[in-house]
Amino acid sequence: MNKKECLEVIQKLRKDNPKKKFVQMVDLIINLQDLDFKKPEHQIDFYITLPHNTGKQKKIAALVDVDLFDEAKASCDMVIPLYQFEEYAKDKKKIKKLAKQNDYFIAQSTLMAKIAATFGRVLGPKNKMPNPKAGCVVLPRTNLKPLYDKLQKTIRILARNKPIVQLTIGKEDMTDEQLADNLLIIYDQLIHHLPKEKNNLKNIFIKTTMGPAMKVEV
C-alpha cells in the first residue's frame, strides 16, 4: 500500500459514510492469519509514533520520587509520588481507577521494582505498565515534556492472543493527507513485524465510529 492508495481509501470512506452531528473517529481493523501465538516470534507488540495526533488527548500519569516530582507535576496529567505508593498498595480499586483514568504511565527507572510490586498486578493485565519500548521508563531529572508530547502521537500495536489489530488512526475532521499518513505508517510497520509480512494479512477494514466497515483492497 502506498500513499496514493491510502488517500483513495480515505476519500472513499468519506464518500460512503454520511456525516453525523458529531465528529467521528476513524478506526482501522486488521485481521491476521497463519500465526502461532505460542511462538514468541509470532506475537506482535510494538509502539509507533504517528506523524499526526489521532485527535484524542491521551492522559499520562507519572510514578516518581522527589527527583522528578516537580518536573512531572509541570508536564503530566497526574503524579503519584513514592510516598503515596503504600496507599495504592492497600486499595486495589484505587489502582483500577488510576488505570482507567490514564492511557500511559511514565516511571522513574530507580523505582521500577516498587512500581511492579505495587501496581503490576493491575496495570500488567491491562497492558499499561510503564514500558521502556515506548520510552516510558526514564532516569531521574529527565525533561518529561518532550516525552509527554511524543506519547500523544504514540500507539501500541498488540496481537498476542487473538489474530486481530484494532486501533484509531484519527478523526473525521483531520485532512485526507493526515489520515493517509497515519494509515500508511501503521500498515508499513505492521507488515515488517509479521513473520511472513503481507502473507500474514487476512483482510483490512476501515470505518468511522457509526459507519459500516469498508474493506481495504491491498
Cell of 77: 496529567
Cell of 176: 485526507
Model confidence at 18: pLDDT above 80 = no
Task: Please tell me the predicted confidence (pLDDT) of residue 82.
Answer: 97
CA distances (Å), origin 103, targets 1, 100, 108, 128, 152: 30, 8, 17, 7, 10
pLDDT tens digits for range 68-118: 999 999 999 999 999 999 999 999 999 999 999 999 999 999 999 999 999
* Backbone φ, ψ for residue 88 (5° rounding): -70, -35
Question: Rounded to whole angstroms, how far apart are CA atoms 160 and 181?
Answer: 26
Cell of 74: 509541570
Question: Rounded to whole angstroms, how far apart are CA atoms 103 and 81?
Answer: 18
Question: Rounded to whole angstroms, how far apart are CA atoms 119 and 88?
Answer: 8
3-state helix, strand, coil in the chain (%, to 5): 40, 25, 35
Is the entire prediction scored with pTM above 0.85?
Answer: yes
The domains located in the chain, with CATH, are 3-55+154-216 (3.30.190.20), 60-151 (3.40.50.790)
216: closest CA among 33, 12, 19, 26? 12
Question: Rounded to whole angstroms, how far apart are CA atoms 133 and 47?
Answer: 7
